Structure 1
Amino acid sequence: MAATSHIPIIDLSGDQADVARQLVNAAEEHGFIYIRNLGKDFTPLDIDEAFYMSQKIFDAPLEEKKRCSIQTNNRGWTGMHSETLDPKTQQIGDYKEAFNFGPFIRGRAQQPIPDSVSQYELRFNDFADSCHALCRKILYLLGLGLGVGDFFSSAHIIPEELMESFHSILRFLRYPPPSSTPHSSDDVRAGAHSDYGSVTLLFRLKGQAGLEILKKDNTWAPVPVCPAGTENDPSPPILINIGDLLSYWTNGLFRSTVHRVVFTPNQGDNRVSGEPCDGPRYSIAFFCHPEGSTKLEPVPSDRVKNFKATGDAVEANPYSERKTMTAGEHLDMRLRATYGNLYDEKK
């Protein structure tokens, strides 16, 4: 029997108290959530345009991308094998390239960008703003469901004077076709990891498989781009996943679920119908972070207070009980593990 992820699909247009309850339950049980019916502020056309701009980034001449190489502020371009998301087990870095946008101020990126996409700078800014607004809505609903109001969403309001400590990242990714990237049967396109921030938005294209999550029973299951019931939606539902910081804030109640991107499913019956793995794979992620000095103390919620992670739940959610003083310190720890050589070079 094929492994299944059973990730719930939540309609954001429903009664907000009910949506909040569904989001909290999904964050606790799965750590991943499909969302649909986002309203007028985030349209399928916006997402289509973002993928068009993504292709323009990766089609830029190599010398332009190298001029924008990633720095220790987590902004810029990374090439093949530059990033190692699972340094404990990966023999070689991830089979992908990526471009990270940090904050924009008055429509201007605070980092070098390829000349080939400079004409789209304001559109990148608009897309990042829409992502941040949607994240804050999700964070508000999660707080509402836990009975802590705007605790989470207010921690993600960043005044302009603190933009340099604003760690949210709009990331464009391209995984080349497996046929153009020689690899062994043990290699993965992106190593197993949890996300470093509070919540992540993930946008994917129809027909491009590869994402898997680690279930509570320690088995891998594919995450369909278009789960049953969404095949006729104008664009695939956005995938939300809980990051490490929300796991800290909730003492492990919310799952910062480990996930990876594979060349082919580890079992033949894990394939998702209509979603091959043999072509290039594009995705867009928005990693939402609070201001760097934010303390990661458990929120004053009875549900959090009464929760105790035990046994396999602790193993499946490795950052639930690790204590870090601030969001910035946690991010620095994770980035150093991922880009060890980059940080060594900057010493």
Structure 2
Amino acid sequence: MDGVGETLRVDLIPTIDLSAPDPARIDGALQNAGFLLVTGHGIDPSLPAAIRDTARGFFRLPGPVKQPYAVKVGGRGWLGPGAEANGYAEGTESPPDLKESLSFAAEHAAEHPTGMAPVDADWFAPNVWPGEIPALRPLLEDYLRAMRALSERLLELLAVALQRPEDFFTRHTTHPTWGFNINWYPGTDTVGVAQPGQFRIGPHTDFGTVTVLDRQHGKGGLQVFVDGHGWQDAPYDPAALTVNIGDLMARWSDGRWKPGRHRVLPPPADVPAEELISLVYFYECDPGTDVRGIDSHAYLRAQLDAITAD
């Protein structure tokens, strides 16, 4: 059952009002699809809108201007065309993803290191701020503070939904790592016609605990895979953020919950100029955290390496 073009029923991906959350609905959703929509999150919509407008100015620069910021997956800077193939995480030798990204990650000021030099160098290095868009940094600093606070609140809710103490997860997020991507999905005038098996983002599950996504609706947008329902369009609410759990959280739940498998469709043939920008915040945990017998950050590093396309 393919299900492409249909939209998942609200009981599979419910909308949770964070001002009055229902732990049972959260638990059910994470057993089904690994996805939620959340309202009552407190994020002023003007902030992500301003981030998109500013970042768009960078993405539309000529390639040679962006090239000095080029990094590989897991780095801090610009992921250019062909840099990433998320399908590799599933062992699928697909063409590279049809996107570009500006990537940021956790950083600690010099006066507040973890005290573990290799960890600080690998996971808490300084971010790179393109000089061509100086307005981005203050916008992102506000947004990233809000994302961390929201992620902490979500982890508390997930602990309650799992019938654990509220700090069951957050006791492991004193010095957490996180990643943040501004993903630009341009139209075919920029990326060309998709090759067979090529997506804006190939099928995969995220790697960490929770992912918080501020997305734009489009024909070449987010799809979610659910057993018995196949690939279907993810529900969209402009007032809501999309939340899914990753591999670490699924493991932490002893397999009760499923990591949200998803993909982003290529530019649609009937709307070839469609351009979307997603803001994707990946929350993780403290380096060295043991998640049911695996080293969380050894796993994260291996997965980031796995989706590097060049």
Measured against the shorter chain, the TM-score band is 0.7 to 0.9
**1:175 corresponds to which letter in structure 2?**
Y
Residue in structure 2 matching 1:199, options 210, 215, 218: 210
- Asked if the contact 2:162–2:253 (Cα under 8 Å) also holds between the matched residues in 1, the reply is no
Residue of structure 2 in register with 1:156 after alignment: 173
Structure 1 position 246, deviation (Å)? 0.4
**1:174 corresponds to which letter in structure 2?**
W
Aligned partners of 1:79 and 1:127: how far apart in 2?
23
**1:211 corresponds to which letter in structure 2?**
L
Structure 1 position 73, deviation (Å)? 4.4
**2:180 corresponds to which letter in structure 1?**
L
Residue of structure 1 in register with 2:115 after alignment: none
Residue in structure 1 matching 2:142, options 109, 126, 129: 126
Residue in structure 1 matching 2:99, options 96, 99, 110: 96
Name stretches of at least 5 consecutive residues in structure 1 with no aligned partner. Answer: 159-165, 227-234, 298-323, 342-347
Aligned residues: 286
Structure 1 position 209, deviation (Å)? 4.1
Cα-to-partner distance string for 1:259-315 (whole Å, 9 max, x where unaligned): 1111268xx9xx9xxxx6751121110000111211102xxxxxxxxxxxxxxxxxx
Aligned partners of 2:108 and 2:56: how far apart in 1?
24
1:130-145 residue pairs with structure 2 within 5 A?
A: 130-145=146-161
Residue of structure 2 in register with 1:222 after alignment: 233
Aligned partners of 2:45 and 2:130: how far apart in 1?
25
Aligned partners of 1:214 and 1:277: how far apart in 2?
24
Residue in structure 2 matching 1:210, options 221, 246, 249: 221
**2:40 corresponds to which letter in structure 1?**
N
Residue of structure 1 in register with 2:300 after alignment: 331
Structure 1 position 222, deviation (Å)? 0.8
Relative to structure 1, the CA distance from residue 72 to residue 9 in structure 2 (aligned partners, 3 Å threshold; closer, same or farther) is closer
Residue in structure 1 matching 2:178, options 168, 177, 186: 168
Aligned partners of 1:192 and 1:257: how far apart in 2?
10
- Asked if the contact 1:208–1:281 (Cα under 8 Å) also holds between the matched residues in 2, the reply is no
Aligned partners of 1:91 and 1:209: how far apart in 2?
18
Aligned partners of 1:337 and 1:151: how far apart in 2?
30
Structure 1 position 122, deviation (Å)? 2.4
1:299-318 residue pairs with structure 2 within 5 A?
A: none
Aligned partners of 1:244 and 1:133: how far apart in 2?
21
Name stretches of at least 5 consecutive residues in structure 2 with no aligned partner. Answer: 110-123
Cα-to-partner distance string for 1:232-271 (whole Å, 9 max, x where unaligned): xxx4410000111101101211110211111268xx9xx9
- Asked if the contact 1:205–1:236 (Cα under 8 Å) also holds between the matched residues in 2, the reply is no
Aligned partners of 2:144 and 2:195: how far apart in 1?
36
1:1-347 residue pairs with structure 2 within 5 A?
A: 3-6=6-9, 7-14=13-20, 16=21, 19-39=22-42, 42-71=43-72, 73-87=74-88, 88-105=91-108, 110-149=126-165, 150-158=167-175, 166-180=176-190, 181-207=192-218, 209-217=220-228, 219-226=230-237, 235-263=238-266, 278-297=273-292, 325-339=294-308, 341=310
Q: Percent identity?
A: 24
TM-score (norm 1): 0.75
Relative to structure 1, the CA distance from residue 57 to residue 105 in structure 2 (aligned partners, 3 Å threshold; closer, same or farther) is farther
**2:155 corresponds to which letter in structure 1?**
L
Relative to structure 1, the CA distance from residue 146 to residue 138 in structure 2 (aligned partners, 3 Å threshold; closer, same or farther) is same
- Asked if the contact 1:8–1:33 (Cα under 8 Å) also holds between the matched residues in 2, the reply is yes
Structure 1 position 340, deviation (Å)? 5.8
**1:10 corresponds to which letter in structure 2?**
I
Aligned partners of 1:224 and 1:75: how far apart in 2?
31
- Asked if the contact 2:86–2:202 (Cα under 8 Å) also holds between the matched residues in 1, the reply is yes
Aligned partners of 1:238 and 1:192: how far apart in 2?
20
Aligned partners of 1:185 and 1:91: how far apart in 2?
9
Structure 1 position 185, deviation (Å)? 4.4
Aligned partners of 2:73 and 2:222: how far apart in 1?
27
Aligned partners of 2:214 and 2:220: how far apart in 1?
12
What value does the CA root-mean-square deviation take over the aligned residues?
2.6
